[in-house]
Structure 1
Amino acid sequence: MQILKSTIIVLSSLLFIQCKNVDTPIVSKTYIDSLLTNYGTPKAITINQENLEFWKNRIQKNGFDIVNEPKYASTLVGRFNLLGDFNDVKTADSILINVEKNFNNKEAGIFLFLASNSILQHHFKKANEYLQKAKSLGIRKSEEYTITFDVDFELGNIKNATENLEKLKLEGGFGYQFRKSKLAHYNGDFEQSIASMKRATEMVVNDAASRNISLSNGADLYTHVGELDNAYSDYKESIKLNSADLHSIMGIGWIALQHDNNDALAEKIFKFVQTKTKSPEPLYKLILVAQHKKDLVAEKKYAKQYESIVTDSIYGSMYTKYLIQLYTQILNNPAKAEILSKAELTNRATPQTYSWYAYSLFANNKIEEANAIYKKYISGKPLEALELYYMGKLMEANKKGYNAEEFYKAANENYYDLSPSIARDLKSKLNE
């Protein structure tokens, strides 16, 4: 009897600890207050500005400069990554195109740079064009395998990307492990994805910039699988390396919102980031804060502001994925979602982008067309949480309850990738 009583006490204690862990907030308000109060001007921004001035002053005024102009362009892209002004990317492009033209299109390195810049702008077919020009002029094998993987991966040529990753394996190192993580993520092998990103981080102990990138990406992966304590830890370590890492700061804001249910702290974080960058990303996060609070007026207000910014021609189709969500769920314009998603297929035709198109067709009451797209391009392919949810909605509309539930269950495995409104809807579907 005493043993039974002790066992009950132990089990009750364990249950209490488990419940406490679920309910205990992860994000420390004290940490956030200190981080935001003491932000100042990050060292990375100061160094970038010094480099911009250095390379700009070295550019030859009377002649063509194959060294200093590309360096200046590279530093402009670096400033974009810090401050989010997309004009810096466009200016860098113009500089590089002019340099290449002045050197009779014979500089493979410039074409590689343009290919990377095109990926940054979601111009994936253009990236492939630049890559092929670079290859025709001759590039190192390690460069070829790396950028070819990047281009093929974004275009959805996964077989080719896998083959190039195998070739890159011989080179090993950070670049290989980083891309191995991306491919494993695509294939749904999250354990391998996290393990590879960890190895990438371990390889760059003395390279703060690369370590910052891998830690921040690793934190995203942890968020993806719901290991939020690990995500929070990696985000903080990443910020420690680079206080200008606004992506990681927002990652912490997302944990505060979706796990801690602290919409006030999350809103404070996102509004702070909004003052430090020209990127529209924090504004999108404010839409999600409004969703979490069920504030329909603020949600629509922020959604319209976001739409007005990201539909500017400078961004091209960079924000199509997010606009589709707005048009189908907040702004009530599924016709626009259909147009955007169909246009995206000319840029990259992947199971994910076909899912956006199928869902837009469904939202626009074109279920038979959506079904045809699903059967031909999506069925049996790996999808992310958002696209799994979309296909669950399509199956539900077709009265295929079992299929819908399977999609919903799969989407729920990556619950923290979903917006508050979708997460709520998903919960209600699985609890029916």
Structure 2
Amino acid sequence: MKRIFTLLALALLISCSKEKTSITNINDYNKYLKTSDVENTSKFFELWNGKIKSDSLQTLALGNVAKEYGRFFKTSGDIEYLKNAERALKKALDEAAIGKSGYLRALARNYIAQHRFKEALVLAQKAREMGSGVNASQSLLFDLHMELGNYTTASKYLDSIQNLSDFGYLIRVAKWNDHKGDLETAIRFMEKAKEKADSSKNLGLRLWAYTNLADFYGHDGRIEDAYGHYLMALQLDSNNAYAKKGIAWIVFSYERNPQEALRIIEAVERTNQSPDLDLFKAEVAEYIGNEEIKAKALEDFHTKVQNSSYGIMYNTHKIEYYLGKGEVTHKALEIANAEITNRSTPETYDLLAYSYLQDGKNAKAMELMETHVKGKTFEPMAQYHMAQIYKANGYLDDVEALKEELMEASFELGPNMEKAIQEL
């Protein structure tokens, strides 16, 4: 009876999803999709770059140039800007007589962006030992231990920076509650952080708050609120690729308008070269059954990530790519094991377990899931992988329980997953 109820509920969910009214409006965001040249310079960049010479301003100039390179990277997705920022920060660190802890933290954040978490941890610990900017170093150490899966240590650092009036603390306590599966509390803290960002009038903080709050709203099924906040981000920065991708996902996953989603993605691609856009495009192409677009998008992704400058940044995406190809499961396993070495989180163990499942090692996959994933992450894709592994090992009652949870996460998982969930 329970299985019949579950299947009926899933059928109802799918039926309703196809009848959803649109919440997006092309007139809201179309002006942000117009093609313009990618900014790779600015008056600030030219000013500070011109001061990089053998004088007292050199280290300060290097730090500001690195910030500009980081901004160019966010806008364009061009990995070389991030690497240029790394080089500038290393040079500043070598030459700085004072303020070394600040440069250490900046370089650590650059490494975080490159997924070089263990190297970043060494830098963050050095910055903390110097005793300057203690709160900033403690905050950075929280971020890193969360990335590395050291949650007990991360919690201690979070306690050490507690300040409900501080934007940095609010966004981190929101992240902590999201990690624990308490989305309601996470949203409440993120909304407080948004208020702080607005009152500060700091563009970077406001963009960060708007886009992250939009993500949280999407996870909570508050799609209209998510859409509104992505638009708010674009009003501040018309080139914000993350907000445009967020709107494209709403158009695709909620409104089931794949052609419009493709149009948005292709508009973003004209000014941003992030490899994850290719995987998004392939997913939409799969939904509409266009194998030509899908194959080209996957080929483009694979070509881009061969660039050695990316290092291990796209390892999790590579696993997804290789598992999708089927015949190269060994490559997925190799990368998944490397990711465990890089950071042993429930999410990386999930990918390793799923790779073992695809390689036919059902018992090994089950062992990893039970030991390292179950009850430790609430990510929908991890739950889906868990359901598949349970099914392969004959734990059908557990599959049914997970199926009900997965139905509630249809927006996050996307339209292509509906049939897969139904077939569990």
What residue number does 1:25 align with?
A: 22
- 8 Å Cα contact 1:384-1:411 kept in structure 2: no
Equivalent of residue 108 in structure 1, options 80, 101, 113:
101
- 2-structure distance, mates of 1:423, 1:337: 24
What residue number does 1:277 align with?
A: 272
Q: CA deviation at 1:171?
A: 6.7
Give secondary structure in 2 for the equivalent of 1:345: helix
Question: Is structure 2 residue 408 aligned with structure 1 residue 413?
Answer: yes
What residue number does 1:391 align with?
A: 386
What residue number does 2:352 align with?
A: 357
- 1-structure distance, mates of 2:152, 2:299: 39
What residue identity is the alignment partner of 1:137?
Answer: M
Give secondary structure in 2 for the equivalent of 1:374: helix
Q: CA deviation at 1:106?
A: 8.2
What residue number does 1:322 align with?
A: 317
Equivalent of residue 295 in structure 1, options 290, 298, 305:
290
- 8 Å Cα contact 2:174-2:185 kept in structure 1: yes
- 8 Å Cα contact 1:342-1:357 kept in structure 2: yes
Equivalent of residue 369 in structure 2, options 374, 378, 390:
374
Structure 1: unaligned runs, 5 residues or longer: 1-17
What residue identity is the alignment partner of 1:74?
Answer: K
What residue number does 1:252 align with?
A: 247
Equivalent of residue 142 in structure 1, options 131, 135, 149:
135
- 2-structure distance, mates of 1:317, 1:324: 11
Question: Is structure 2 residue 167 aligned with structure 1 residue 170?
Answer: no
The TM-score with structure 2 as length reference comes to: 0.90
Q: CA deviation at 1:414?
A: 2.4
CA distance 1:260–1:127, change in 2 (3 Å): same
Report matched runs for 1:18-417 at 5 Å: 23-37=20-34, 40=36, 45=39, 49-61=42-54, 65-103=58-96, 107-170=100-163, 172-205=165-198, 206-330=201-325, 332-417=327-412
Overall identity of the aligned pairs, in %: 26
CA distance 1:127–1:185, change in 2 (3 Å): same
CA distance 1:134–1:146, change in 2 (3 Å): same
- 1-structure distance, mates of 2:90, 2:355: 36
- 2-structure distance, mates of 1:194, 1:166: 19
Q: CA deviation at 1:41?
A: 6.2
- 8 Å Cα contact 1:52-1:75 kept in structure 2: yes
What residue identity is the alignment partner of 1:157?
Answer: N
Give secondary structure in 1 for the equivalent of 2:197: coil
After superposition, give the CA deviation of every residue in 1:225-263 in whole Å (9 maximum; x if it has no partner). 221111111111111111111111111111111111111
Q: CA deviation at 1:49?
A: 1.6
Give secondary structure in 2 for the equivalent of 1:169: coil
Task: List, as ranges, runs of 4+ consecutive aligned residues in structure 1 with deviation greater than 6 Å.
Answer: 18-21
Q: CA deviation at 1:207?
A: 2.3
RMSD after superposition: 2.4
Structure 2: unaligned runs, 5 residues or longer: 1-14
Give secondary structure in 2 for the equivalent of 1:204: helix
- 2-structure distance, mates of 1:124, 1:257: 33
Q: CA deviation at 1:330?
A: 4.0
- 1-structure distance, mates of 2:350, 2:190: 27
After superposition, give the CA deviation of every residue in 1:329-350 in whole Å (9 maximum; x if it has no partner). 3454211111110100111001
What residue identity is the alignment partner of 1:24?
Answer: T
- 1-structure distance, mates of 2:291, 2:79: 30
CA radius of gyration, larger in: 1
- 8 Å Cα contact 2:207-2:236 kept in structure 1: yes
Q: CA deviation at 1:327?
A: 1.6
CA distance 1:150–1:342, change in 2 (3 Å): same
- 1-structure distance, mates of 2:354, 2:89: 39
CA distance 1:124–1:159, change in 2 (3 Å): same
- 2-structure distance, mates of 1:171, 1:252: 31
- 2-structure distance, mates of 1:201, 1:55: 31
After superposition, give the CA deviation of every residue in 1:357-416 in whole Å (9 maximum; x if it has no partner). 010011011122222222332233223111111111111100111112223333333222
- 2-structure distance, mates of 1:285, 1:217: 19
- 8 Å Cα contact 1:64-1:102 kept in structure 2: no
- 2-structure distance, mates of 1:169, 1:257: 39
What residue number does 2:11 align with?
A: none
Equivalent of residue 425 in structure 1, options 412, 420, 424:
420
Give secondary structure in 1 for the equivalent of 2:59: coil
- 8 Å Cα contact 2:33-2:268 kept in structure 1: no
- 2-structure distance, mates of 1:62, 1:55: 13
What residue identity is the alignment partner of 1:319?
Answer: Y
Moved more, 145-154 or 308-317: 308-317
Aligned pair count reads 408
CA distance 1:331–1:428, change in 2 (3 Å): closer
CA distance 1:29–1:296, change in 2 (3 Å): same
What residue identity is the alignment partner of 2:319?
Answer: I
CA distance 1:116–1:376, change in 2 (3 Å): same
After superposition, give the CA deviation of every residue in 1:33-61 in whole Å (9 maximum; x if it has no partner). 34324x6569xx48x62211111011124
Q: Does 1 or 2 have the higher relative contact order (CA < 8 Å, sep 6+)?
A: 2
Give secondary structure in 1 for the equivalent of 2:341: coil
After superposition, give the CA deviation of every residue in 1:98-132 in whole Å (9 maximum; x if it has no partner). 23234589822211111111111111111101111
What residue identity is the alignment partner of 1:417?
Answer: E
